[in-house]
Amino acid sequence: MSQLTQLNKIIILSVFSLWLSEALALDIKISEDIDSVEVMHNGIPVTVQRIQNQENQLTGGFTKTSRKCPPFCIQPMHPAPGVTTVAELEVLKFMQTKVKNGTGVIIDARTPDWYKKGTIPGSVNIPFTVFDNSEYHPQLREAMTRLGVTLKSSSNSLWSELMVKLGLKAANNSPWDFSKAKDLLLWCNGMWCGQSPHAIMNLLKQQYPANKLYYYRGGMQSWQILGLTVVIPNS
């Protein structure tokens, strides 16, 4: 085969590849620069993108504008000092960086019945009530271990106490060791849902570092309004 023929084939393949990529391009992108995002969910790769049907409309509970308050009251933009509030693009970036490299966890803080109806890809379900427990409760210990947090050993506690007495370390009465704590992004049903803010407040009471906590205030309602991918667990 001549070099000219090979070159012609390369040109034809390149043109075809360009045509194919344009043909498969999404009409409804996430942003000007982002078509979709890949994330692992329970060990399975999931493509997060927007619904391509421009006539699509929400149905069911997330079409509602009003709910009885309390308990379904509008949540503040910032649940606590030091906690970062994020929107959808930041959630996607969190997936691409912190979840991908193992330094972050996206927490669906809703009760299991809500989780089973559908969740944001890449999320793990740790109900907000788990963080109500003391450090002696097995559910909280299991959750904290999943988040990279362990209980301090008695020897570490004695060493920390000595360092405080010597003025070499600030007092910290938390029973937890947060030295390997992961960044957490918590969400629930929407800006009217108090489940993830409740979880955040209890994590802070356990002295989880505030700068490692992120709050997706829009939650499932905003996620679905934008037509983003939802996964049904065990489906």
Tens digits of residue pLDDT in 22-75: 445 789 999 999 999 999 999 999 999 999 999 999 999 999 999 999 999 999
What does pTM read for this prediction? Answer: 0.83
Nearest to 77 by CA among 218, 202, 228: 218
pLDDT of residue 13 exceeding 50: no
User: Using CA atoms, how far apart are residues 106 and 96, in angstroms rounded to an integer?
Assistant: 12
Question: Same structural domain for residues 92 and 182?
Answer: yes
Count Cβ atoms below 10 Å from residue 34 Cβ, excluding itself. 15
233 falls within a domain = no
C-alpha distances (whole Å) from 126 to each of 97, 106, 193 are: 21, 10, 16
158 falls within a domain = yes
The helix/strand/coil state of 94 is helix
152 falls within a domain = yes
232 falls within a domain = no
Question: Same structural domain for residues 7 and 80?
Answer: no
Question: Same structural domain for residues 102 and 79?
Answer: yes
Question: Same structural domain for residues 138 and 202?
Answer: yes
Q: Name the phi and psi angles at 108, rounded to 5.
A: -80, 105
Q: Name the phi and psi angles at 112, rounded to 5.
A: -55, -30
Question: Same structural domain for residues 101 and 217?
Answer: yes
pLDDT level of residue 234 (50, 70, 90 thresholds): confident
Among 12-21, 58-67, 222-231, the least confident range: 12-21
Predicted confidence (pLDDT) per residue in 93-146, tens digit: 999 999 999 999 999 999 999 999 999 999 999 999 999 999 999 999 999 999
pLDDT level of residue 163 (50, 70, 90 thresholds): low
Count how many domains the chain has. Answer: 2
pLDDT level of residue 153 (50, 70, 90 thresholds): confident
Question: Same structural domain for residues 103 and 16?
Answer: no
pLDDT of residue 20 exceeding 70: no
User: Using CA atoms, how far apart are residues 129 and 158, in angstroms rounded to an integer?
Assistant: 31
* pLDDT score for 115: 97
Question: Same structural domain for residues 125 and 219?
Answer: yes
234 falls within a domain = no
**Tokens representing 63?**
């079409």
pLDDT of residue 83 exceeding 60: yes
Question: Same structural domain for residues 84 and 189?
Answer: yes
Question: Same structural domain for residues 17 and 84?
Answer: no
Question: Same structural domain for residues 120 and 8?
Answer: no
Residue ranges making up the domain that contains 195: 36-225
20 falls within a domain = yes
Asked if the bond preceding 70 is cis, omega within 30° of 0, the reply is yes
Question: Same structural domain for residues 197 and 219?
Answer: yes
* pLDDT score for 11: 41
Nearest to 50 by CA among 231, 218, 229: 229
Which residue's structure tokens are 């499932």?
A: 220
74 falls within a domain = yes
* pLDDT score for 104: 98
* pLDDT score for 16: 39
Question: Same structural domain for residues 102 and 142?
Answer: yes
86 falls within a domain = yes
CATH code of residue 107: 3.40.250.10
Q: Which residues, including other chains, have CB under 8 Å from residue 166's CB and lie 6 or more apart?
A: none
